[in-house]
Amino acid sequence: MQAFYKNKWFLLIIMALTWGSSFILIKKSLPVFSPYQIGAFRVGLSGLILVFIGLPALRKMKLRDALWVAAAGFFGNFLPMFLFPIAQTQVSSSLAGIINSLEPVFVLVFGFLFFGIRSKTIQVIGAVTGFIGAATLLYFSEKTTQESQLAYTLLMVLASGSYAVSALIIKLKLQEVKSIHVSSSVFTIWMFPSIIILIFSGFFGIEYNAEAYKALGFLSILSIFGTAIGIMLFYKLIQDTSAVFASTVSYLLPVVAVMWGILDGEQFTIWYLLGALLILIGIYLIREKKKKPQVTPR
């Protein structure tokens, strides 16, 4: 199992499956809970699960590292948790997953603008190819959308950019901190404002019936697997590879969303296959190649 945990492709696939399913879980939770309750519950429950690791880690952490952890958590684990549910009150879960595929593009752009990271030409081509694949899925999966919800779509674009900022912080500022300590500390810090939001949003005053308990079950699965465990794996992948490669998980999310659609009886077309193929090609081009060991002549 340890070997799988260290395998970047295994981690990428597991995250794609969990995060690709998170949008449908948000959709199933929205009939009962508000977007603010969904976001706060995800962060709050994850914090309660990981606080026993996060609190000791924070106590031993340098102040500079703790501040970067808080910043990474805000952009990657707090703000997007609210933006996506708000957007999904007006747009489909599949569209949410597809828009999230912008993240690798933002990583390349922000990495260059704010951190001076120059990407290889092949990686830029890979990012564009993957995005074209996601756009293909978007175009052919959203034919039934009556009208464009531009403002809500832009919220999801903002969330994708926010994820990219967090990924860059983790890679460039917290490389020396263990991924488990980063992820647990992030949720420990943002657990407290999340609990306050839950209290003032009326979460604890909801009258629970069969529908509410069902929605709570979906939300709990989302929080444990899609948030707490998913983020730990994501941070580890960032530190083991790069922010660009780790963010390519967002290119696989539309594929998972389409798979959910097929299981739900939606029609499969050749365009879905084409879009998925372009996404996989994009990931292949962006991947990190292992450097060949240098042989010193004697």
Band (294; pLDDT cuts 50, 70, 90): very low
Q: What is the pTM of this model?
A: 0.78
In the block, which residue shows the tokens 């999904």?
88
Distances (CA, A) of 102 to 10, 209, 279: 22, 38, 12
Structure tokens that stand for 42 in this block: 């995800």
Higher pLDDT: 224 or 85? It is 85
pLDDT, tens digit (0-9, with 9 covering 90-100), for 10-26: 777 887 788 778 888 88
Band (252; pLDDT cuts 50, 70, 90): confident
Chain length of the chain: 298
Tell me the C-alpha distance between 286 and 111, whole Å: 14
Spatial CA neighbour of 175 closest among 71, 247, 68: 68
Spatial CA neighbour of 25 closest among 242, 225, 263: 225
In the block, which residue shows the tokens 């949410």?
96
Average pLDDT over residues 227-238: 77
**Residue 202, number of CB atoms within 10 A of its CB:** 11
Tell me the C-alpha distance between 286 and 133, whole Å: 14
Higher pLDDT: 112 or 186? It is 186
**Residue 76, number of CB atoms within 10 A of its CB:** 26
Tell me the C-alpha distance between 245 and 167, whole Å: 10
Tell me the C-alpha distance between 141 and 95, whole Å: 8
